[in-house]
Structure 1
Amino acid sequence: MLSIIGLLTIAIIVGLLISNKITPIVALVLVPIVAAFAAGFNFAEIGEFFNSGIESVMSVVVMFIFAILFFGIMQDVGLFDPLINKMIAVSRGNIIAVAIGTVLIAAVAHLDGSGASTFLITIPALLPLYKRLKMNPYLLLLLVGTSASIMNMVPWAGPLGRTAAVLGMDVTELWRPLIKVQIIGMILLIGLAVLLAIREKRLIARRGDFNKNVYEEANPLDKTAQDEASLKIASLRRPKLLWANALLAIAIIGILVWGVIPAGFAFIIGVSIALPLNYPNMKDQMDRIKDHAPNALLMAAIILAAGSFLGILNGTLMLDSLAKDLVIILPAFVLPYIHLVIGFFGVPFDLLLSTDAYYFALLPIVEQVAATAGVSSLSTAYAMIVGNIIGTFVSPFSPALWLALGLAGLEMGRHIRYSLLIMWAFSIVLLVISVLIGVI
C-alpha cells in the first residue's frame, strides 16, 4: 500500500509540474501531505517529518540566497564586462573564432548560475555578429546553451542544489568531483564548436545568408525603455573598482574550493563586503538586494518545499517501500546499471520532465533502487546530473530558454530539431568520460 501511495504521489507531482499550471512549491507541499494522511499518519507525525526534511536542506537554502545575491552584485558592477568585450573584439569576423568565443563568453556569463542573465548578456552581444557573418542563430543558441549547462554544475545553480537537498549533503562537497568534469566538458565543447563552425562555413557557402527573410529584427522594448534600461545598467557599473571586485570574487571561489568554511558562510561574507565596497550609500545597497531578492527567494522557497516533500516521503517510508518493490519487479541484471541507463536518457528526459520533477521525483527513486544493488548514492547522483544537465537549455520547461528564443526571434521547435541530437550525443560522451575517470 505504501508503494502504491508513494508511486501515485510522485506521479501526481510530476504531472502537476509538467502541466505548468501550479508552482513547484504548491505541488511539493500539498500532495505529500495528502498522501501521508492517506497512508494513516497524523498531523503531529507529518510535522516531525517536515522538520526533518527542512533541517536537511537549510544549509543549501542559505547558500542559494547569498550566492545569487553575490553574483548578481558582481554582474551589476560590471566585473565580467571587460572579459566579455575582449572576447567579442578578438573573435570579430572569423566564424571559428566567433564559435569558440561564444562558448567562452557563455561560460563567464553563467558564473552566477542564472540562465536568464546568461542569455541576456550573450544573445544581444553576439546575435549581430552571427547576422553579419551569415551564421545560423540556432548555432548561437546551441553553443550558449551547452556552455551554460556545463557551468550549471556549480553549487549555486539549480541542479546541484536540488541534488544536495535530496541526498542531504553539503552542496560544495557534491560539486568538487564535478570540477574536472566541467573542465573536460569545456575543452570538448570548444572542439565541438570548431567542428560546427567548419560545417557552418560550408553551409554558408552553399545556402548564403541564413538570416535573410528568416525573421525580422525586433526588440520587445521600445526605444525609450531601452534607453532607460541602459542608463540604469551604466549607473550600477563600478569600473574603478574592477580589481577589488575581481580579487573578492576569486577569494570567495577559492574559499569554496578549499572548503575551509561552509559555502553559505562564504557567500554571506562576500555579499557583506561587496555591498559597501561598491555602494557606500545604504539606499543603493538595499536596492541591489531588492533587485536580486526575487530570484534568491524563489529558489530558496522551492528548495524548502522540496525539503518538506522529501522529509514526508522518507519519514513515511514510501520511498523505501517503493524501492523494495521495484527491486522485485526489475530484472536483477539491470539494477547495478539503472543509474547509467537513466543518465543515458537524461537529455530526452528534459523534454518530458521539468528540472524539479527530474531531481525531486525521479532521483530519489533511482537512488534507492541503485543502492539495493550496492551503487553509492553519489555515483547515482553524478550519473543523473552529467547525463541530464546538458539538456537544460533544450527543454520547453526552461523559462530562461523561452527568454533566449524571444531575444533571438527564434522558434522552440526548430531549436529542438537543430540542437537535441547534438546535445544528447555530447551528454553521452561526457557521461562515458565521467565513468572512465572514476567520478561515476
Structure 2
Amino acid sequence: MVSFIGFLTIITIVTLLITKKLSPIVAMTLIPVAAALILGSGVEELTTYFQDGIDSVMSVVIMFIFAILFFGMMQDAGLFDPIIDKVIALTKGNVVLVAMGTIAIAIVAGLDGSGASTFLITIPALLPLYKRLNMSPLLLMLLTVLSVGVMNLLPWAGPIGRAATVLNMDPVALWRPLIPLQLIEIVLLFIVGALFGLREKKRIAQKQESTAASEEIAAAAETLEMDEEEKAFRDSLKRPKMLWFNIIFTLLLIGTLMSGVLPSGFVFMIGLSIALPLNYRSVDEQMGRIKEHAPNALMMAGIILAAGTFLGILEGTGMLEEMASGLVNILPGLVVPYLHMIIGFFGVPFDLLLSTDAYYFALVPIVEQIVSGFGVESTKIIYTLVVGNIIGTMVSPFAPALWLGLGLARVEMGQHLKYSFFWVWAFSILLLFVAWIMGIIGS
C-alpha cells in the first residue's frame, strides 16, 4: 500500500509538471501532503516531515538566493561586457572562429548559472553576425545550448542545487569533484565548436545562393536591439571604473567557495554585501538591483523549499524506501546495480519527457535509493545521473529559458530538436565516458 501511494504520488506530480497544470511549488507541496494524510499521518507527523525536509535544504536555498543576486548585480555592472566585446571583435568574418567565439561568450555569460541570461547575452550579440556570414541560427542555438549545459554544473545553477538537495549536501561540496570534469568539458566544447564551424563553413561554400534565399536572409537579418530607453537605462547601470575590482573580487569569491572555508551561502551573502554598495552607492540603486533579480532568486528558493518538503514526506512516511524495494523486486537482478548508468545514458531523452524538477525530485531520489542498496556510493550515483542529463536541459520543452532562446534566435522548437538533439545526446554520452575514465562515475 505504501509503495503504491508513493508511485501514485510521483506519477501524479510528474504528470502535473509535464502538462503544466500546476506549478512545481504547488505540486510538490499539496500532492505529498495528500499522500501522507491518506497513509494516516497526523498533524504532528506532517510537522516533523516538513521540518526535516526544510532543514535539509535550507543551506541550498540561502546559497541560491544570494548567488543569483550577486551574479545578477555583477552582470548589471558590466563585469562580462569587455570579454564579450573582445570575442566579437576577434571573430568577425571567420566562420570557425565565430563558432568558437559563440562558446566563449556563452561560457562567460553562463557564469551566473542562468540559462535565460546566457541566451539574452549571447544570441542578440551574435545573431546579426551569423546572418551576415550566412551561418545558421540553428548552429547558434546548438552551441549556446551545449554551453548552458556545461555551465549548469556550477553549484549555483539549478541542476547541481537540486541534486544536492536529494543528498542533503552543500552544492559546492558536491561540485568540487566535478571541477576537473567541467574544465575538460569546456576544452571539448571548443573542439566541438571548431568542428561545427568547419562543417558550417563547408555548407556555406557549397550552398547555391538564390534570389529568394538572399531575400530570406536579408529579411531575417533584423537586429534584436532593445529600444533606446531600455538601452540607456542598462548603460546607466554599467560601472566601467569598477571593472578590475569586480573581476578580482569575483575570482576571490569563487576561490573561497572552492576552498570550503565558509558555507557557500554565507560566502555569497558576504560577497553581495561588499560588492553591492561599492558598485551602487545609493540605497535606492542597491534596492533596485535586488528587486530586479529577486524574482529569479525567490522562484528557485520556493521550488527548493517545496522539494525539501516533498522529500521529507517521502522519507518520513517510508514511501521512498518502499518504492525502492518494490522496484528491486520487479527489475531483473543483473540490471538493478547499474540502473543509474542506464538512466544516465538516456538522460537527454528523459529531458523530452520530464521537466528538470520532475527528473531531480521524482526520478533521481528513487534511483539513488535503489542503487545505493547495492553498495554503490550515493555521490557516484548522483554524478552519473547529473552528467548524463545536464547537457540536455535545453532540449526540454519544459525549460522556459529554451523558449526565450528560440524566440531570440527566431527558430522553432521542431527545427531546434531536429538539428540539435542527436549532437546534444552524443556530447552527453561522451561526457559520461570521460567521467567514467576519471572515476567520477561508475558502479
Counterpart Cα distance in 2 of 1:356 and 1:269 = 29
TM-superposed CA distance for 1:208, in Å, is: 4.5
Q: Could you say which residue in structure 2 is the equivalent of 1:350?
A: 351
Q: Could you say which residue in structure 2 is the equivalent of 1:207?
A: 207
Q: Could you say which residue in structure 1 is the equivalent of 2:323?
A: 322
Structure 2 counterpart of 1:310, one-letter code: L
Counterpart Cα distance in 2 of 1:348 and 1:56 = 30
Structure 1 counterpart of 2:75, one-letter code: Q
Counterpart Cα distance in 2 of 1:177 and 1:102 = 27
Task: Write out aligned runs for 1:16-415 (5 A).
Answer: 16-208=16-208, 213=216, 216-217=219-220, 226-415=227-416
Share of identical aligned residues, percent? 59
2:131–2:221 Cα contact (<8 Å) kept: no
Structure 1 counterpart of 2:185, one-letter code: G
Q: Does 1:429 align with 2:420?
A: no
TM-superposed CA distance for 1:41, in Å, is: 1.1
- Scaled by the length of structure 2, the TM-score of the pair is 0.97
SS of the equivalent of 2:216 reads coil
Counterpart Cα distance in 2 of 1:423 and 1:332 = 31
TM-superposed CA distance for 1:408, in Å, is: 1.3
Distance 1:191 1:433, change over 3 A: same
SS of the equivalent of 1:213 reads helix
- Scaled by the length of structure 1, the TM-score of the pair is 0.97
Structure 1 counterpart of 2:187, one-letter code: I
Q: Could you say which residue in structure 1 is the equivalent of 2:12?
A: 12
Distance 1:436 1:211, change over 3 A: farther
Structure 2 counterpart of 1:82, one-letter code: P
1:215–1:409 Cα contact (<8 Å) kept: no
Counterpart Cα distance in 1 of 2:339 and 2:229 = 53
Q: Could you say which residue in structure 2 is the equivalent of 1:2?
A: 2
Counterpart Cα distance in 1 of 2:49 and 2:276 = 38
Distance 1:207 1:283, change over 3 A: same
Structure 1 counterpart of 2:107, one-letter code: A
Counterpart Cα distance in 2 of 1:152 and 1:21 = 26
Question: Would you say how many aligned residue pairs link Structure 1 and Structure 2?
Answer: 438
2:124–2:223 Cα contact (<8 Å) kept: no
Render the CA deviation track for 1:249-306: whole Å, top value 9, x for unaligned: 0111010111110000000011001111011111100111111100000100000000
Counterpart Cα distance in 2 of 1:358 and 1:31 = 17
TM-superposed CA distance for 1:413, in Å, is: 0.3
TM-superposed CA distance for 1:143, in Å, is: 0.4
Structure 1 counterpart of 2:220, one-letter code: E
